[in-house]
Structure 1
Amino acid sequence: MGFMHTKFFRLGFSLLVAVCLMLGAFIQPAAALTNEQKLLSEVWRIVNRTYLDETFNHQNWTAVRQKALEKPLQNNEAAYGAIQKMLKSLDDPFTRFLDPEQYRSLQVNTSGELTGVGLQIALNPENGRLEVVSPIAGSPADKAGIRPRDRILKIEGISTENLTLDEAAARMRGPSGSLVTLVIERDGEGETEVRVVRDRIALNPVISELRVSPQGTPIGYLRLTQFNANASMELAHAISSLEKKGAAAYILDLRNNPGGLLQAGIEIARLWLDSGTIVYTVNRQGIQGNFDAFGPALTQDPLVILVNQGTASASEILAGALQDNGRATLVGETTFGKGLIQSLFELSDGSGLAVTIAKYETPKHRDINKLGIKPDKVIPQEPINREKIGTEADLQYEAAVELLTKNS
Structure 2
Amino acid sequence: MKRKRIIAGAVLLVFISSMLTFYLTRLIPLAYGEAVIIPREEYELMQQYSKLFQVKNILTNDYVDKIDQSKLVDGSIKGLASSLGDPYTVYMDKKDYQDFTTQTTGSYAGVGIVVSVDNDGHIVVVSPMKGTPGEKAGIKSGDIIVSVDNVKVNGNNLDKAVSLMKGPQGTKVSLVLMRDNKLINKTLTREIIKLQTVSSTMLPNKIGYIKMTMFDENTSADFTKALNNLKTQGLNGLIIDLRDNPGGILEQCVNVADELLPKGLIVSTKGRNKKDNQVIYAKGPGLQKPIAVLVNGGSASASEILAGAIKDRKVGVLVGTKTFGKGLVQSVIDFGDGTALKYTSARYYTPNGVNIQGKGIEPNYVVELPKNYVVTDTPDLKGDTQLIKAYDIIKSEIK
Aligned to 1:399: 389
Aligned to 2:294: 306
Q: Which amino acid aligns with 1:241?
A: N
Q: Which amino acid aligns with 2:111?
A: A
Identify unmatched segments of 5+ residues in structure 1: 1-17, 31-60, 125-131, 136-147, 150-162, 172-197
Aligned to 1:290: 279
1:71 aligns with 2:55: yes
Query: 1:65/1:271 Cα in 2 relative to 1: closer, same or farther (>3 Å)?
Result: farther
Aligned to 2:203: 211
Aligned to 1:103: 97
Cα displacement string for residues 137-182 of structure 1 (whole angstroms, at most 9, x for unaligned residues): xxxxxxxxxxx97xxxxxxxxxxxxx966442699xxxxxxxxxxx
1:390 aligns with 2:379: yes
1:93 aligns with 2:93: no
Aligned to 2:158: none
Q: Distance in 2 between matches of 1:100 and 1:86?
A: 17
Query: 1:353/1:62 Cα in 2 relative to 1: closer, same or farther (>3 Å)?
Result: farther
SS in structure 1 of the partner of residue 300 of structure 2: coil
SS in structure 2 of the partner of residue 71 of structure 1: helix
Aligned to 2:28: none
Aligned to 1:179: none
Aligned to 2:139: none
Aligned to 1:364: 352
**What displacement does 1:244 show?**
1.5
Identify unmatched segments of 5+ residues in structure 2: 1-30, 60-66, 114-128, 137-162, 172-191
Give the alignment's Cα RMSD to 1 decimal.
3.8
* Contact 2:332–2:342, Cα closer than 8 Å, also in 1: yes
SS in structure 2 of the partner of residue 322 of structure 1: helix
Q: Which amino acid aligns with 2:279?
A: N
Q: Which amino acid aligns with 1:168?
A: P
**What displacement does 1:284 show?**
0.5
Q: Distance in 2 between matches of 1:278 and 1:324?
A: 9
* Contact 1:121–1:133, Cα closer than 8 Å, also in 2: no
1:236 aligns with 2:224: yes
Q: Distance in 1 between matches of 2:257 and 2:202?
A: 21
Q: Which amino acid aligns with 1:296?
A: P
Q: Which amino acid aligns with 1:398?
A: I
Query: 1:64/1:271 Cα in 2 relative to 1: closer, same or farther (>3 Å)?
Result: farther
* Contact 2:309–2:350, Cα closer than 8 Å, also in 1: yes
* Contact 2:109–2:166, Cα closer than 8 Å, also in 1: no
Residue pairs, 1:174-323, within 5 angstroms: 203-212=195-204, 217-285=205-273, 288-297=277-286, 299-323=287-311
SS in structure 1 of the partner of residue 343 of structure 2: strand
Cα displacement string for residues 241-266 of structure 1 (whole angstroms, at most 9, x for unaligned residues): 11112232211011111111111111
TM-score of the aligned structures, taking structure 1 as reference length: 0.61
**What displacement does 1:407 show?**
3.0
**What displacement does 1:296 show?**
2.6
TM-score of the aligned structures, taking structure 2 as reference length: 0.62
Percent identity of the aligned residues? Answer: 31
Cα displacement string for residues 326-348 of structure 1 (whole angstroms, at most 9, x for unaligned residues): 11101112212211111112235
